[in-house]
Chains A and B, each alone.
Chain A
């Protein structure tokens, strides 16, 4: 089954530092990939998505992700962390167009150190 693996269940960075959250997918064909964010006591919100149009995808709140087929990766980055970025981040995949199931990774909790 198609899936995504998020490396690191907890990541801590200092305010102003680079944020890097890792996601690898398992697929023989390029899937549709997504990053969602969940703030405390809230539902999930779409940050960005990759659907094969461009390998570097820009999302909301200054986040971006790069699709690398050779590495089967879709890591999420932000140049400078802000306290408001503290949340849980989920990588997700739809294995192919028309598939109805959006499958989520296990999540990475991001903590920002003042």
Chain B
């Protein structure tokens, strides 16, 4: 158990819809990272937050957004969903900055868009 909790574990929705994925980091961790894992693109870094502030952005689509709340949990919002958004979305956390590369991953939220 990494200590990172992601909900929901599975989500099935239709094209055009909007979903929210939630992540609770390990106790004491201030940084939260979001990754997308798909068969065709592998593991792609989406975005990172540190103590409520956005710190780094990767290959995140404009239809996607995220935030980190004062209690340090984070949410990833995916809107106007397309079939290609079907993937496993991971949240990871680490103690702080700079990024030491030692991330603790949750078990992921599997999104299926029909």
Q: Are B101 and A44 in contact (CB under 8 A)?
A: no
B residues sitting closer than 8 Å to A (CB atoms) are: 2, 4, 33, 35, 42-43, 45, 48, 55-56, 58, 90, 92, 97-103, 105-108
Q: Which residues of chain B are within 8 angstroms of A90 by Cβ–Cβ distance? A: 43
Q: Which residues of chain A are within 8 angstroms of B58 by Cβ–Cβ distance? A: 101
Q: Are B101 and A34 in contact (CB under 8 A)?
A: yes
A residues sitting closer than 8 Å to B (CB atoms) are: 32, 34, 41-46, 49, 51, 90, 92, 94, 97-107
Q: Are B101 and A32 in contact (CB under 8 A)?
A: yes
Q: Which residues of chain A are within 8 angstroms of B4 by Cβ–Cβ distance? A: 43
B3 CB to nearest chain A CB (Å): 11
A10 CB to nearest chain B CB (Å): 14
